[in-house]
Amino acid sequence: MASASLQFFAFILALFGVFGDITATLLPNWKVNADVGSNIITAITQMQGLWMDCTWYSTGMFSCTLKYSVLSLPIYIQAARTTMVLSCILSAFGICITTVGMKCTKLGGDTASKSHACFGGGICFVLAGIFGLVPTSWYTREIISNFLDQTIPESSKHEPGGAVYVGFISSGFLLIAGVIFCTSCFKKQPGAWICPPKQHRFSSTEQESNIGYNLKDYV
């Protein structure tokens, strides 16, 4: 019962991780640059994501441009696109597999089949968490290194946006869920202790009496 409750808790964490992973992949605010300028009325906020760049004006206008060219993008953005998509796919597979393998569901057949399915779903969650953690860490490193570079003008410097934090949290949820599923599926069952049968040893007097009894039968 405790293992089933733990798997259900891990499944809820995995759901939050999947939704957060998809949201972080689609959000345009991976890095943000707020340029207030001399007049607060003309303040703008520039946001850059994996798929589009958006600009928000203080007047309420909002405009976005898609990144159509893949080869013109920096290598860390190309890697982030690939790994985040893989993370979303693996986490979706993990949801489907663990639904079959969870102990609180009636799918998946016998206990051994459900355990293997649950373990496979946990591996998918762990890989999805790793694939989501790598691009967010790399992207954050590039933002910080550019921010600390003195040769880059202030107008070209950015700070980590909300999508990066969502990606970090979602990857953590997926990693925790994957570890719980992998460790809760198999239990080490102690082997049965087989005691050797006790051999009854007859004393010499008992053996002599038995022999005498047997000989009397034949007289």
Would residue 137 count as lying in a domain?
Answer: yes
Q: What is the pLDDT, as a whole number, of residue 204?
A: 53
Instruction: Please report, for the domain that includes residue 182, its CATH number.
Output: 1.20.140.150
Would residue 37 count as lying in a domain?
Answer: no
Would residue 178 count as lying in a domain?
Answer: yes
* Overall domain count for the chain: 1
Residue predicted with more confidence, 80 or 194: 80
CA distance linking residue 160 with residue 184, whole number of Å: 36
The phi and psi torsions of 138 (rounded to 5 degrees) equal -65, -45
Would residue 207 count as lying in a domain?
Answer: no
CA distance linking residue 107 with residue 97, whole number of Å: 10
Residues 114-130: pLDDT tens digits? 888 888 999 999 999 99
Would residue 182 count as lying in a domain?
Answer: yes
Would residue 200 count as lying in a domain?
Answer: no
Would residue 103 count as lying in a domain?
Answer: yes
The pTM (predicted TM-score) of the whole model is 0.77
Range of the domain at 112: 4-29+74-187
pLDDT-based confidence at residue 209 (cuts at 50, 70, 90): low
